[in-house]
């Protein structure tokens, strides 16, 4: 059967992040992609100028339409925008019980624009974390979710990761793209171990959609039957190359997109 992954996220009108990046990532990783749109954004490589949330009952309708017909192997959740949307997603996933859920707690865009209402953060923790196979916060998101300062050491990252695990998710990938040093180190943390995944830090301004794309690539791997560590390792290698090839594009005047299809052109 054709592997299917579902993205539940916001739309990026410039095509570099959100639903558009997720569907590109699924396709690049050999998986059929379906989508549930939670919000429309007026957005480009320079920033977000408007957000129009989709009504929660229509988010529910999209979820039910997809799951009632398609054999969804994994779900990726990105921008959820507001508490009502989070409740609709949580109820829908509880109803349909997909095997794998990868949650990218999108709070702030690459441009610095806020994408999650402040009052919705608690709902994100309490309603969606317990449903997640994996959450994929970057270092600033990890700190914000814990009301802490940003981790500066490996020990800090591991301690923060374990605190997030205690909120109910089964594994955490703390992304190190906002860190310092020659390597960008992500940490995959579950109840038994912490695995450091290093890749050379790439000097480029074209990083729009990296978090969306990585979490989608992980979901694609899980949809294909890979175990969590394999899916994360393969996705990390793929996004690293997509970032390395990003400067082949000349798109926009701000943070340009990564090259999702670097293997093909």
pLDDT at 184: 82
Average pLDDT for 172-183: 77
Asked whether residue 25 carries a pLDDT value surpassing 90, the answer given is: yes
Show contacts of 57-62: CB within 8 Å, 24+ apart.
Answer: 57/88, 59/8, 59/85, 59/88, 59/89, 59/92, 60/88, 60/91, 60/92, 62/35, 62/36, 62/37
What is the spatial distance between Cα 202 and Cα 240, in angstroms, rounded to a whole number? 8
pLDDT of residue 179: 60
Backbone φ and ψ for 86, nearest 5 degrees, come out as -60, -45
CA 67/CA 103 separation, integer angstroms = 18
pLDDT for position 211: 93
Q: What is the C-alpha separation between 259 and 187, in angstroms, rounded?
A: 24
State the pLDDT at residue 167: 94
Range of the domain at 13: 4-248
254, part of any domain = no
Summarize the confidence of residues 104-120 as an average pLDDT. 71
**Residue 261 forms part of a structural domain:** no
Assigned domain for 259 exists = no
Q: How many separate domains does the chain show? A: 1
> The domain spanning residue 98 has which CATH number?
3.40.1190.20
Angle, CA of 16, 18 and 21, to the nearest 5°: 50
Answer whether 0.85 is exceeded by the pTM: yes
Q: Which active-site residues does the annotation give?
A: 175, 207, 209-212
Lowest mean pLDDT among 48-57, 107-116, 128-137, 255-264: 107-116
- Whether residue 70 lies inside any domain: the answer is yes
**pLDDT of 114 higher than 80:** no
Is the model more confident about 114 or about 211? 211
CA–CA gap between residue 160 and residue 262 (Å, rounded):
34
Q: How far apart are CA 172 and CA 262, in angstroms?
A: 27
Q: What is the mean pLDDT of the chain?
A: 92
Query: Is 198 inside any structural domain?
Result: yes
CA dist., res. 1 & res. 128, Å (int): 28
Residue 37 belongs to some domain of the structure: yes
- Residue 24: inside a domain: yes
Residue 170 has what pLDDT? 97
């Amino acid at each position: 059967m054709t592997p299917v992954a579902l993205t539940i996220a916001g739309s990026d009108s410039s095509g570099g992040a959100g639903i558009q990046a997720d569907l590109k990532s699924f396709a690049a990783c050999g998986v059929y992609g379906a989508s549930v749109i939670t919000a429309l954004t007026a957005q480009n490589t320079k920033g977000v100028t408007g957000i129009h949330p989709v009504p929660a009952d229509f988010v529910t309708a999209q979820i039910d339409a997809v799951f009632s017909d398609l054999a969804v192997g994994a779900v990726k959740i990105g921008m959820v925008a507001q508490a009502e949307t989070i409740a609709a997603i949580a109820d829908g996933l509880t109803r349909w019980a997909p095997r794998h859920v990868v949650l990218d707690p999108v709070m702030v865009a690459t441009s610095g624009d806020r994408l999650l209402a402040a009052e919705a953060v608690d709902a994100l923790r309490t309603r969606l974390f317990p449903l997640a196979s994996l959450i994929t916060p970057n270092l600033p998101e990890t700190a914000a979710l814990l009301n802490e300062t940003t981790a500066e050491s490996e020990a800090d990252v591991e301690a923060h990761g374990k605190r997030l695990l205690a909120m109910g998710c089964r594994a955490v990938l703390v992304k190190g793209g906002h860190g310092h040093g020659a390597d960008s180190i992500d940490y995959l943390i579950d109840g038994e171990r912490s695995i450091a995944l290093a890749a050379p830090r790439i000097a480029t301004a074209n990083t729009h959609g990296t978090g969306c794309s990585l979490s989608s690539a992980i979901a694609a791997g899980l949809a294909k039957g890979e175990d969590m560590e394999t899916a994360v390792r393969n996705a990390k290698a793929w996004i690293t190359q997509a970032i390395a090839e990003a400067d082949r594009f000349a798109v926009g005047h701000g943070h340009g997109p990564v090259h999702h299809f670097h293997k093909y052109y």
